[in-house]
Structure formats: C-alpha cells, structure tokens
Amino acid sequence: MDRFRIGDMTLHRIEEWQGGFAPPAAMFRGFDEALWQPHEHELVPDYHQAETGLIYGFLQSWLIDTGAERILFDTGAGNDKERPGIPIFGGLQTEFLDRLGAAGFQPGDIDTVVCSHLHIDHVGWNTIRSDDGWKATFPNARYILPLGDRAYWDPNDDSAEPSATGKAVNAGVFEDSVQPLIDQNRVEWAEDGFEVLPGIDLFAVAGHTPGHLAMRVHSNGDSALFVGDVLHHPIQIHNPDWNSQFCEDQDRARESRRAVLEEAAQRGSLLVPAHFGGVHAVRVLPEGSVFKPVYSPERLA
C-alpha cells in the first residue's frame, strides 16, 4: 500500500530501493532456524526471497499530510554518496524525488523532516550534492534529528564510541548528511516527548542507536507508530528478542522492541517500520508471550 489514512491524515509511502539484503542467520542476533521455519510460508515472497535465501527489504520514507503540514519521516540512503561500509547503498542513482513528485509533492512542499536515527539509510536524502558541496534537499523544511545520536555518530566527537560494526557501516554518513545541516543552522535536536505538531510526538526507543526516536501519530480516534529500525522484519514480531546485527545496545534494543509491540497491540495502532515489504505496515496482536502480525491490507484502513 502506497497511500492510506490515519484518521484525518493521509500517509504516503515514498520508495527509494528494494531488494535482497542479507540471509536471516546473518541479519539477526539470536537467530534460530527452528523458530524461523514455522513462519517462512508467510514471509515468502514479500519479506524473504526463497530462491536467494535473502531477507527482502525496502528503503522507503513516509510522508504524513495533515492537510496543513507535510512531514517526511526518514530519508533513506540518498544519491551520489560513498558508502564503503554497506556498498549496496553507495553511489545510488534512484528516482526517489521523482516518486515524491508522483505522490503529488515537490521538495519545497515538505515542512518538516524527522529522522528516527542517524544511520546510513535514514538520513541520506537530507542533503543533495551541489556545486558548493552538500545542501538541504528540502529547502523549506525544519530538520528534526535525535539529540542522543549527535555526539555518538559525530566522528569529531570523542565523548561516545560506536561499535566496530556501527563505525564501519556509518562511515561518511554524518559528514555528508548531517553536518551540512548543522553548519547551515537547519537542525532542531529532539528527545523523548518532543512534539512535532499537535497529535504527532516523538518517543525514545533507544537500543538500535542510543538516540533512536519513534513517532506517534494520533488523529480522529486512530493512531500509527512510525518505529524506524526498532523492527527490520516481521519475524521480529514473532521473535521480539531477535536483534539486528546493527543494534548498538542489544539489551536496550530488545526492551524497546517489546515496549513498541505491546503498545501497538494494546492500542490497535498501525505499526509502520522502516524496511518492511508486503503491505509495508501491519497491525499487531498478542500471542502468548510474543506477538502476531496482521498483514491483511483491509485491516490497515
């Protein structure tokens, strides 16, 4: 689904990239084949490529149109960027901005950009290359970024030390997709409880990164949770203790994931992760000590 509603707000999915990413055994810490197999039938082909054995993933942004304001949540990997840590996301030449246009929006129409965290595939379209270096892609937008990630990913700040994996995959990201915005005084730094607009607020889901923020959207009795990389794949709904290999704090990531799933199940909120294939968003039901995703498109409306 590329367009649906939450109350009085319209949500648009803007795709950047899709494809096979990694085998599940390499993607998830705590992977157990015996826990994967019972669910494989529901994951193929939308979430897992049986022929390659790879997790099927997407890079995509979410545009929330309130009628008066337009908010873009996460900005993918971006074009023209060197990414030695994850080469598959380096040197991209995608039609992301054309797809934004096809949804009815130009970069100048975006009022607010929110980045859930400062990873390679969530900040890339913050900036585009120009003759003078990197400039803001969305010229009229305020950029809301997580304060808890600022020092952690800044290569010139020694106050925090990313993991070896984190440092490798995020090489060059802060320099071309965050620092230019700081230099241009375009950034508002956010923490838990930050109100983006009435009915839209950010809350802390630390673990994947120390400052990771998710976004609650409430409108006319309905709600959605935009959760970034709290979940990478539906198998983590069935097995919420499985972290991705990219989670900086494994214990806190598990705690945040369970908290998000519990809230989604209790409130009936639409769960909108960053990288899901299929219908790209799910409802969640409790199932014993874990949870069950509901993929049916009619349940999304």
Q: How far is CA 297 from CA 4, 48, 233, 271, 281, in A?
A: 10, 19, 17, 13, 9
Task: Read off the pLDDT of residues 189-240 as tens digits, 9 standing for 90 and up.
Answer: 999 999 999 999 999 999 999 999 999 999 999 999 999 999 999 999 999 9
Beta-carbon contacts of residue 144 (< 8 Å; ≥ 6 apart): 112, 113, 114, 115, 187, 188, 189, 190, 194, 196, 202
Of 176, 122, 169, the C-alpha closest to 145 is 122
Q: Is the predicted pLDDT of residue 185 greater than 50, yes or no?
A: yes
Q: Is 167 helix (H, G, I), strand (E, B) or coil?
A: helix
pLDDT band at 158 (very low <50, low <70, confident <90, very high): confident
* Domain extent for 198: 3-299
- Give the pLDDT confidence score for residue 17 in this predicted structure: 97
What percent of the chain shows pLDDT beyond 70? Answer: 98
- Give the pLDDT confidence score for residue 301 in this predicted structure: 46
At 202, list the tokens. Answer: 């950010």
Q: Is 191 helix (H, G, I), strand (E, B) or coil?
A: coil
Least confident of 65-74, 223-232, 290-299: 290-299
pLDDT band at 160 (very low <50, low <70, confident <90, very high): confident
On average, the pLDDT of the chain sits at 96
What percent of the chain shows pLDDT beyond 90? Answer: 94
Considering just the CA atoms, what is the radius of gyration of the chain in Å?
Answer: 18
Least confident of 119-133, 207-221, 282-296: 282-296
- Give the pLDDT confidence score for residue 297 in this predicted structure: 59
pLDDT band at 299 (very low <50, low <70, confident <90, very high): very low
At 41, list the tokens. Answer: 């039938």
Instruction: Output the DSSP codes for 221-282.
Output: TEEEEEEETS-SSTHHHH-TT-EETT-SSHHHHHHHHHHHHHHHHHHTPEEEESS--TTS-B
User: Count of domains in the chain?
Assistant: 1
At 89, list the tokens. Answer: 């996301």
Q: What is the pTM of this model?
A: 0.96
Q: Is the predicted pLDDT of residue 36 greater than 90, yes or no?
A: yes
CA–CA distance, 82 with 243 (Å, rounded to integer): 26
Q: Are strands 133-136 and 195-197 parallel, antiparallel or unpaired?
A: unpaired
- Give the pLDDT confidence score for residue 1 in this predicted structure: 63
At 169, list the tokens. Answer: 């995959």
Return the half-sphere exposure (C-beta side, CA atoms, 13 A cut-off) of residue 59: 24
The CATH number covering residue 213 comes to: 3.60.15.10
